[in-house]
Structure 1
Amino acid sequence: MAVWLISASVVAGELEIESDVVEATLDNGLTVLVLEDRRAPVVANMVWYRVGSADEHSGITGISHMLEHMMFRGSEKYEPGEFSRIVARLGGRENAFTGRDYTGYHQVIGSDHWETVMAMEAERMRHLKLQEDEFRPELRVVQEERRLRVEDQPNSLLREQLMATAFFNHPYGQPVIGWMTDIEAYTLEDLQDWYDRYYHPSNVVVVVVGDVDADEVIAAAEKHFGAIPSGNVPEAKPRRETPQAGERRITVQAPAQVPFLMMGWKTPVLNTLDSHEDAYALLVAAGILDSGEASRFARELVRGQELASATSARYSPFARLDDLFMVAAVPTSDTDVETLEQALLDEIDRLAEEPVDDRELERVQARVIASEVFERDSVRAQAFQLGMLETVGVGWRENDRFLERVREVTAEDVQRVVREYLVPERRTVGILDPQPMDDEEAPAPGPYGAPDLDGGYPEGDH
């Protein structure tokens, strides 16, 4: 077993952030990350598996999410639902999530009980019991989840179909929850195969943040996970996207109150770039367009020209594969979608043609940095950030480089990446064409809807 202690200090304005992460690798390949935070007697325990919808193939899309549900339906030691009942009895909270690049399970619990939940996670990593009488009811739950969160949500439906249009043979083009025809055809054997392929220590990152002693956590991880065989995770096939030869457009007709517009440009991420500059410049560009009331979309399109009632711009450098720079907007009642689309593109063109002034750039950088700093007040948020970075392959150390790299972005960097990446031949446009609704009280869509913005799938109760 190898252990490393890494200390880092980053200054953001007058606020200094210190992180002391202890990393250990067990002999079976399992990675352990520990961050001591003794401000409250609370601990976040997370187990991350390096498998998500990007690992799936046609016919079993959504199987990672289905297996996430089944992880709560019993193991050799625990009856169905008992895992959750024990966590609740100990005063903790627990849940799970599935994304394109990972599946995660977590508990937030008092510092007297973190080893109990760690041991429970180790048990279901090795001894999950997949039973037909538990599988069938849970399958119906997932089908209903898809209906409620995607098919009955017009903005979510638009996003799903835009992703499928933007990506032909890239795995991010398939939904995390899966296509309904695939969900309906799952078998218990499909789930067992997925569990046997990917739920191995060599494919896992365990993250513990909070009121703990790092040496004790690593010793406990060795005790509970160390005897589990490493396992052989299959090597992923290179699913490189077919080059895009021009703008793609899609119209989705669905019952809705108002139209909705979404655009996405194919962009690289930290994992697919030789250096970090372009990724962080794209992140700042998204902030310039939409990061609060002073950002350009809000100032020019919402309050100024009153063309949009809501806007959004989103880019994340943290993914396993190339992704999309996303822009979305809801037109006002007096605005047609074509006018709004052109106004959004005009703002992007202005970003390419005119350098951002120092004051605006510094404001956006400060806002991005502040958001990162405030998140670190939560043990769960700290654990999530460490686990996500490590699991997608960027590495948790990027957490301590983040603030400095945001501050290094220049106006010229922003201009360069907008000119290079936010161009028509990389663009996919999606328009929601609202159809008459049976239920007049159904909510109007807002930017992006139910699926979270990095392409993952929201946590659900089990």
Structure 2
Amino acid sequence: MWSLLPKSNFFRSILLFLTFSISANLSLFADEDIFLEVRSSLESRVKKVVLKNGIRLLMMKREGSPTVAVYTKFLVGSSDETPEIAGTAHLLEHMLFKGTKNIGVTNYEKEKIYLEQIRVWGKRLDSYRLQERELIQKGEPVPEKLITDKNVLEARFKSLLELHRKFVVSNEDSYIYDKNGGTGFNAYTTNDVTNYQILLPSNRLEIWAKLESDRLKDPILREYYTERDVVLEERRMRVENQGMGILREKFLSAAFEKHAYGMPVIGFESNLPFLDIDKTEDFFRKKYRPHNMAIGIVGDVDFSQTESLVRKYFENIPDGESPKPQNVAESFDHETRRVSVKHSSGPMKVMSWLTPASPHPDRPVLELIDAILSQGETGRLYKRLVLRDKLAQRVSCWTGEPGERYANLFAVYVTNVRGADPDKIESAILEEIESLKKEAVSEEELLKIKNQIVGDYIRGLNSNSKLADVLTYYELVAGDWTEIFDDYSRLDRVTPGDIMRVTQKYFSPRNLTVGDLTNSEGEKK
């Protein structure tokens, strides 16, 4: 398809492709008219409504199946945490599946008595455990009374949890969705956002509205202490048992000495066992506010009926005060930072440079540099490290590591060939970077890369779920879903000179962080 479109108008290509992907019929207008025509066509299929409390509702009509994909997203992630409460956003994601006063319980009035005691005894047990750990870390003896009191309380607390369990109806919300034809009921937390999703028959949308509004109005942090242990075990599996997990955590901590992007989404091993239930509730009240919330509904949707339904169930959720931003800026000027991690898996290397957040004009240039270096088997780093020098098994770039709300990293991740010299890998990467600084990319190569980026992106949008995800993400992180258009308009305008300028500007030794994964003997194998 790309070969049939005018090479002089890259943006025309993406707009036509996106238009066809949503089944819009559009005649070919003159180049100067195509942008406005396609944008108008898309905007007629997407309706944005802002509720009185600040919730943003995005509805997109898309024929083909009597279903809707619903994504409820919050501008809340690990970047909104402090080190003391690291992991709270992710833990809350788990907790909001535990039900409300109406869901997940046989009798809330009776359960409430146990919940109150669990909260008191759980906090007291945390205090004992924390005292014991601090003494051990200091090398001081632990008093016998502290050990005895802790052991007695642990036994009582375990019995209390077992008594409470008789009131719990596990996964009742999932059961209700299943009974009503729902699929893909899930959630995820990142550094920037937290998302909840479901795919439903369109005539069951009110089921979603009832369940999800109830989840926001009356969440009960049911099984908080047992779920906290589940998250701790999840961390062990994803981070401590994987060399890549440890490397990325240490690497981000080195790259972000000041900013919250240096903290892992899942939290630290040191603080996860002591995340306080009261502080977790406080985090929910402050962050899960309507002004931080966007709902995307894509599929067989009637705009008027859906808007009325969402207003009925969500508009009476009170909005709180907007907290002051807590993040500090990370430095773009520092000595090269290096970390090395020993683990039986590997070996790997990661290199990164700090870059500005969107909507900075250099962002689309960085996206293109990413693609030039790592787009499939034609990427320069792949051809150099994998095909020619046989130093790597895989290589990839990541623009926007680990998030996009704040200044972030342009990162290069390499899976080394065992026995390969990591210094040669680093030198090869730096040489390819230098070539972009000194030699202009050809117009032909740049056009090819632009088309590849758009093709890959649009192919990923060929589902209601992906569209709902993207619409809500742009609405929250970029400030408006229509920034999708501006993103690709800016991409189209990038020139070979821009590639040279931006590479020279950011890819400096005084803006570099390097991480190596080595074996247990220390050899960077």
The TM-score normalised by the length of structure 2 is 0.77
What is the identity, as a one-letter code, of the residue corresponding to 2:353?
W
How far is 1:114 from its partner? Answer: 2.1
Q: Distance in 2 between matches of 1:254 and 1:128?
A: 40
2:490 aligns to what? 405
1:264 is the counterpart of 2:266: no
1:187 is the counterpart of 2:187: no
Going from structure 1 to structure 2, the CA distance change for 1:238 and 1:164 (only over 3 Å counts) comes to closer
Q: Distance in 1 between matches of 2:329 and 2:15?
A: 41
- Give the 3-state SS of the residue equivalent to 1:155 in structure 2: helix
Going from structure 1 to structure 2, the CA distance change for 1:226 and 1:394 (only over 3 Å counts) comes to closer
Going from structure 1 to structure 2, the CA distance change for 1:109 and 1:78 (only over 3 Å counts) comes to same
How far is 1:159 from its partner? Answer: 0.9
1:440 aligns to what? none
What is the identity, as a one-letter code, of the residue corresponding to 2:375?
S
- Give the 3-state SS of the residue equivalent to 2:203 in structure 1: coil
- Which is helix-richer, 1 or 2? 2
1:235 is the counterpart of 2:237: no
1:216 is the counterpart of 2:287: no
1:5 aligns to what? none
1:100 is the counterpart of 2:161: no
1:442 aligns to what? none
1:280 aligns to what? 364
How far is 1:334 from its partner? Answer: 4.5
Query: Map of 1:10-409 to 2, 5 A cutoff?
Result: 11-12=13-14, 15-17=17-19, 19-20=42-43, 21-79=46-104, 80-92=170-182, 93-131=184-222, 134-242=223-331, 244-256=333-345, 258-271=346-359, 273=360, 276=361, 278-316=362-400, 319-409=404-494
Q: Distance in 1 between matches of 2:63 and 2:486?
A: 23
How far is 1:285 from its partner? Answer: 0.2
How far is 1:361 from its partner? Answer: 1.0
Deviates more, 1:198-207 or 1:341-350: 198-207
RMSD value, Cα: 2.0
Q: Distance in 1 between matches of 2:492 and 2:520?
A: 45
Q: Distance in 1 between matches of 2:428 and 2:358?
A: 30
1:449 aligns to what? none
How far is 1:394 from its partner? Answer: 4.0
How far is 1:104 from its partner? Answer: 1.1
What count of residue pairs does the alignment treat as equivalent? Answer: 423
How far is 1:89 from its partner? Answer: 1.9
How far is 1:15 from its partner? Answer: 2.8
What is the identity, as a one-letter code, of the residue corresponding to 2:14?
A
How far is 1:46 from its partner? Answer: 1.3
- Give the 3-state SS of the residue equivalent to 2:394 in structure 1: strand
Q: Distance in 2 between matches of 1:282 and 1:293?
A: 19
Unpaired segments of 5 or more residues in structure 2? 1-10, 20-40, 105-169
How far is 1:13 from its partner? Answer: 8.1
- Give the 3-state SS of the residue equivalent to 2:295 in structure 1: strand
Deviates more, 1:391-400 or 1:280-289: 391-400
How far is 1:238 from its partner? Answer: 4.3
How far is 1:344 from its partner? Answer: 1.0
CA contact (8 A) 1:125 1:200 kept: no
Deviations 1:75-124 (A, max 9, x none): 01111421111112222221011111111111112222122112211111
Going from structure 1 to structure 2, the CA distance change for 1:243 and 1:331 (only over 3 Å counts) comes to closer
Deviations 1:38-64 (A, max 9, x none): 122221111111211111012110100
How far is 1:165 from its partner? Answer: 0.3
Q: Distance in 2 between matches of 1:300 and 1:337?
A: 14
Deviations 1:272-319 (A, max 9, x none): x3xx3x100000000000011111112222112222111011113971
- Give the 3-state SS of the residue equivalent to 1:112 in structure 2: helix
- Give the 3-state SS of the residue equivalent to 1:269 in structure 2: coil
Deviations 1:344-402 (A, max 9, x none): 11111111111111221111111100012112211111111111112224421111233
Q: Distance in 2 between matches of 1:89 and 1:140?
A: 30
What is the identity, as a one-letter code, of the residue corresponding to 1:140?
D
What is the identity, as a one-letter code, of the residue corresponding to 1:34?
M
Q: Distance in 2 between matches of 1:33 and 1:250?
A: 43
Q: Distance in 1 between matches of 2:386 and 2:487?
A: 30
Q: Distance in 2 between matches of 1:341 and 1:424?
A: 12
CA contact (8 A) 2:188 2:195 kept: yes
How far is 1:14 from its partner? Answer: 5.9
Identity %: 31
Q: Distance in 1 between matches of 2:332 and 2:49?
A: 40
Q: Distance in 1 between matches of 2:373 and 2:516?
A: 20
2:132 aligns to what? none
Deviations 1:121-153 (A, max 9, x none): 11111100123xx11221111011101111111
Q: Distance in 2 between matches of 1:301 and 1:389?
A: 35
How far is 1:227 from its partner? Answer: 1.4
Q: Distance in 2 between matches of 1:114 and 1:224?
A: 12
